Amino acid sequence: MTHTLTLQSIEPVTHDTYHLVFNKPDGYEYTPGQACDFALAKDGWRDEQRPFTFTGLPTEPTLEFVIKSYPDHDGVTDQIAGLQMTDQVEISDAWGAIEDKGPGVFIAGGAGITPFVAVLKRRLQTHGSLEGCQLVFSNKSEKDIILRDTFTSMPGLTCHFVVTDDPDSEFAREKIDKDFLRGIVADTDGPIYVCGPELMIEDIVAALHALGVAEARIVTEDLD
């Protein structure tokens, strides 16, 4: 089923990422971590659907997204920065494999962080702390870290930032690999959530297997 939303607000989160708030259709439901197919409600764009994740909570009266704009793609995300109040979009019913299966390790690359935003918000709302949760978040540079202050201020959440293209950063590292994950994984027997580009997910899952993590503990979502 297709639902039409009207933009209520848009503001930058980083230099190329935006927080968007829309009205919430009556009866619309989703679970924290789920996404929808999202398209601009204008001629020439309705068939250009992209998967975007809800970053607000289901109990809130609006629908929220955090969307990274890719100007070089000349596609839907390139249009995001230019959206105006009252512009409309069309979304599908909610879908997605990521949901809260308990405290554990959340591993994200770039915009792959978005499914974890609502999951962590809900856990914090429900339990008052994110004790036992660790976030591993990889980006090209520090300026690309989406909602950095939000995550570092969440009580109980241990954050591990990785920056791949900024050698001067304290977080500089080529990639998230087995050696980097070894100590982090050793601290938990809970689920390990992975979301990001397809190749990154493949590499992370292979590293987790090499560390002896059972397949049943690994929860993945490819938002490419």
Helices (H) and strands (E) in the chain, counts: 5, 11
Residue written as token pair 């109040």? 85
Helices (H), 69-197: 76-80, 114-127, 148-152, 178-186
218 with 109, same domain: the answer is yes
The CATH number for 84's domain is 2.40.30.10
Least confident of 46-60, 66-80, 207-221: 66-80
* Total residue length of the chain: 224
Segment 115-135 shows an average pLDDT of 97
Ordered DSSP codes for 39-74: EESSTTTTT--EEEEB-S-TTSSEEEEEEE--GGG-
10 with 67, same domain: the answer is yes
- pLDDT at residue 77 tops 90: no
The CATH number for 201's domain is 3.40.50.80
Distance of CA 18 to the CA centre of its chain: 13
Q: How many domains does the chain have?
A: 2
66 with 113, same domain: the answer is no
Query: What are the φ/ψ torsions at residue 113 (nearest 5 degrees)?
Result: -70, -25
Q: Give the separation between CA 50 and CA 223, rounded to whole angstroms.
A: 9
Residue 19 CB coordination number (10 Å): 17
- pLDDT at residue 62 tops 90: yes
Confidence band, pLDDT 50/70/90 cuts, at residue 148: very high
- pLDDT at residue 78 tops 90: no
Encode pLDDT of 5-21 as tens digits. Answer: 999 999 999 999 999 99
Domain containing 206: what range?
105-222
